[in-house]
């Protein structure tokens, strides 16, 4: 008879021990039977036998589930801690940028407010001049362009409730097209107005939409290009020649521009005002010909 002395932690697993004859199975490998799992370890004093340590299969998987649940819980807790730390650092790092943007916005509002008085004064005095010369007309055109830029910046910085009234799309197109024809007289203009569309909308906002669309059609036109304006079937269509647009889907994004000219807010304001007035706008480019349509 041989004596064996073994120490195992009974509080971790329910186990039993058996001495088996030596076989071809590997030592320290975990083997599964139907209701149990076991490992074989050598006996220092006996080279002909193995010690078989048998564990309860049910207890083993319960222990695995417990470890798995503990790891999941720790992972969730650590993830939440990391998210909280990331949010804190994000707010801390973005706070100076937020302050800078607010200061810039306030600065732009102040500039817009300060520009309003001299622009209005110049326009009023120009209208008082009788029989203006060619130079005065050029100054008046430049002031109108400056006033339009002022309105664009004002629309960008300020959000206001748009009061609606009955307006004529034909009158707005006539007014704006006459303004641009006097500046871009080298462009071939073709205006086809088959009907007058009267809608409930905001006059200034609609005028801003059409102005910005015609402004883009003129500024990015070719030397011998054309602009065609069609108004029919409750739809305004502006077709113009161009040097091409690389990303037509981005032209309405804020600050997006494909050249050094402009601020990149003109078409963004068009998109913004169109949504507020429930006007559907669509832009397509084919063989460098840009087609912009407004559906009322």
Asked whether residue 12 carries a pLDDT value surpassing 60, the answer given is no
Considering the chain, what percentage of its residues have pLDDT values greater than 70?
85
pLDDT value at position 238? 94
Report the CATH number at residue 177.
3.30.565.10
Mean pLDDT of 165-183: 89
pLDDT at 116 (0 to 100):
66
When divided into structural domains, the chain yields a total of 1
Please report, for residues 33, 60, 227, 282, the alpha-carbon distance to residue 55 in angstroms, rounded to integers and kept in the order given: 10, 7, 87, 72
Interval 112-157: pLDDT, tens: 666 667 777 777 777 778 777 777 777 777 777 777 776 766 666 6
**In this model, does residue 193 exceed pLDDT 70?**
yes
Q: Which residues contact 213 (CB under 8 A, 6 or more apart)?
A: 238, 267, 270, 292, 294
Is pLDDT at 98 greater than 60 in this prediction?
yes
Mean per-residue pLDDT for 6-23?
A: 65
Burial of 81 (0-12, 13-18, 19+ CB in 10 A): exposed
Within a domain: residue 265?
yes
What integer is the mean pLDDT of 64-93?
A: 91
Which of the pair, 19 or 108, is modelled with greater confidence?
A: 19
Which pLDDT belongs to residue 229?
Answer: 93
Q: How confident is the model at residue 188 (pLDDT cuts 50, 70, 90)?
A: very high
pTM for this prediction? 0.58
Rounded to 5°, the CA angle 105-261-134 comes to 105
Tens digits of per-residue pLDDT, 227-237?
999 998 888 99
Span 195-210, mean pLDDT? 86
For residue 197, is it within any domain? Answer: yes
Higher pLDDT: 125 or 83? It is 83
DSSP annotation string for 91-105: HHHHHHHHHHHHHHH
Q: Which residues pair with 32 in a beta bridge?
A: 37
Domain of 204, in residue numbers: 159-295
Calculate mean pLDDT across residues 68-79. 94
Average pLDDT over residues 254-260: 75
Average pLDDT of the chain to the nearest whole number: 81
pLDDT of residue 3: 45
Alpha-carbon gap, residue 238 to 161, rounded angstroms: 28
Distance CA 35, CA 47 (A): 28
Q: Is 216 exposed, middle or buried (0-12, 13-18, 19+ CB in 10 A)?
A: buried
In this structure, is residue 145 part of a structural domain?
no
Q: Is residue 77 part of a domain?
A: no
pLDDT at 122: 75
Q: Calculate Rg over the CA atoms of the chain.
A: 39
Among residues 235, 233, 166, 162, which one has the least CA distance to residue 199?
A: 166
Whether 107 maps to a domain, the answer reads no
Query: Does the pLDDT value for residue 57 go beyond 70?
Result: yes
Query: What is the pLDDT at residue 50?
Result: 86
pLDDT value at residue 159: 63
Q: Could you tell me which residue, 159 or 78, shows the higher pLDDT?
A: 78
As a whole number, mean pLDDT of residues 8-15 equals: 54
* pLDDT value for 111: 67
Q: 240 pLDDT exceeds 90?
A: yes
**Assigned domain for 230 exists:** yes
- Asked if pLDDT for residue 6 goes beyond 50, the answer is no
The verdict on residue 79 lying in a domain is no
The mean pLDDT value for 260-289 works out to 84
| Residue 195 resides in a domain | yes
How high is the pLDDT of residue 78? 94
Reported confidence tier of residue 254, pLDDT bands at 50, 70, 90: confident
**pLDDT surpasses 90 at 83:** yes
């Amino acid at each position: 008879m041989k004596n064996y002395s073994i120490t195992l932690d009974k509080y971790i697993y329910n186990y039993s021990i058996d001495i088996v004859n030596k076989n071809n199975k590997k030592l320290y490998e975990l083997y599964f039977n139907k209701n149990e799992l076991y490992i074989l370890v050598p006996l220092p004093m006996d080279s002909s036998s193995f010690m078989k340590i048998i564990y309860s299969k049910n207890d083993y998987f319960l222990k695995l589930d417990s470890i798995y649940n503990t790891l999941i819980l720790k992972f969730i807790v650590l993830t939440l801690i990391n998210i909280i730390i990331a949010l804190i650092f994000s707010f801390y790092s973005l706070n100076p940028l937020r302050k800078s943007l607010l200061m810039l916005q306030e600065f732009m509002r102040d500039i817009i407010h300060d520009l309003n008085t001299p622009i209005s004064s110049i326009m009023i005095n120009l209208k008082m001049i009788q029989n203006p010369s060619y130079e005065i007309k050029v100054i008046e055109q430049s002031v109108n362009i400056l006033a339009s830029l002022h309105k664009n910046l004002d629309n960008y910085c300020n959000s206001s409730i748009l009061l609606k009234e009955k307006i004529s799309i034909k009158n707005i197109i006539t007014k704006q097209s006459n303004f641009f024809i006097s500046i871009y007289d080298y462009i071939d203009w073709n205006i086809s107005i088959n009907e007058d569309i009267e809608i409930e909308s905001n006059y200034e906002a609609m005028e801003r939409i059409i102005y910005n669309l015609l402004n883009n059609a003129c500024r990015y036109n070719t030397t011998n290009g054309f602009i065609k304006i069609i108004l029919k079937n409750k739809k305004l269509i502006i077709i113009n020649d161009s040097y091409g647009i690389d990303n037509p889907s981005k032209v309405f994004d804020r600050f997006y521009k494909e050249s050094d000219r402009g601020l990149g807010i003109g078409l963004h304001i068009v998109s913004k005002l169109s949504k507020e007035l429930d006007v559907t706008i669509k832009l397509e480019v084919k063989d460098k010909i840009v087609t912009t349509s407004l559906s009322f």
